[in-house]
Structure 1
Amino acid sequence: MTEFLETSEGPNWLHDAINMLICGQNVTAPRPLGKSVALVTPQSLWEALAEHLGAQEHIAPLLTDNREYPIEQMICEIIADGRRVHGKAYDLACEALGQSKGGHPTALHDVAEALIRPWANEYGRARAEELAADSALDRFAQREDDAA
């Protein structure tokens, strides 16, 4: 018996099936008397991709000091650029992060706020010191001008 992929239509079917699966459609096989049967589902692709990503040295293990966080960087860039630029990818990135619990546009904003909030007082003190130093320099310069 000839392998299907060695037939003239096999490579075309494989090409189309790969594209269908990547686009979120089931790869199906026809049945003689009824509804087609799913051979591979998008869920299977996602699970395989997760296993693949987990096996990558630059991604796993998750808590190493030298990790570059490419997935997280990608999600941040997609959200930063917005729905107008990335469309469905933006929606999927937001879905992956979950709903905002702080009333922000995305959960990424919640995470950023949680990181920044503890430093707010420190920033306020530093800004006040900067303004005080600027004011002192202005007074000093004014005294020199008055003395001249």
Structure 2
Amino acid sequence: MIDFLDTPEGPDWLHDAINSLICGDNVTAPRAHGKLVALVTPQSLWEALAEHLGAQEHIAPLLTDNREYPIERMICTIIADGRRVHGAAHDLACEALGLPKGKYSPTALHDVAEALIRPHANEYGRARAEEMAADRAADLAEQRKADAA
């Protein structure tokens, strides 16, 4: 099977998924007949961000084992809202995270989010293909029903 990220839809999906995750939304995949399934949750981003911050040499390890992740949530919110909204706080949040590793990533937070999402891209691609096949089958059945009438 082709890697979903190599398809025309793949890079756009990854970009949108990263931004959605940073903004606090689940990254989901469709199901042919049912609810969406969560691939990556904001909680997992906050946990990964806590690990990322703990690995930064210029930041002391986080002092609490708080499963609410208020610092990580605050950083995600500041970066999601952008520099126009938060000004210097945005710059400080980016500085705290360190430089992005990805050539096209605006912040290290985007790198962390991408690392969480990328392994689920093919799962999303398969689910999307199944959803589209089910939609086509339903449309074909409706068309046959209309033709028979």
Instruction: Please indicate the TM-score interval, normalised by the length of the shorter structure.
Output: 0.5 to 0.7
- Is 1:119 aligned to residue 104 of structure 2? no
- Aligned residue-pair number: 89
Distance in structure 2 (CA, Å) of the matches to 1:87 and 1:139: 53
- Deviation of 1:124 after TM superposition, in Å, equals 0.0
- Specify the alignment match of 1:100 in structure 2: 100
- Deviation of 1:130 after TM superposition, in Å, equals 0.2
- How many percent identity over aligned positions? 75
1:93-128 Cα offsets, whole Å, 9 max, x none, are 000000001020000000000000000000000000
Structure 1 residues 125-136: aligned runs within 5 Å: 125-136=126-137
- Specify the alignment match of 1:7 in structure 2: none
Distance in structure 2 (CA, Å) of the matches to 1:73 and 1:143: 51
TM-score (norm 1): 0.57
Structure 1 unpaired stretches of 5+: 1-49, 55-59
- Structure with bigger gyration radius: 1
- Specify the alignment match of 2:76 in structure 1: 76
| Residue type at the aligned position of 1:80 | A
TM-score (norm 2): 0.57
Structure 2 unpaired stretches of 5+: 1-59
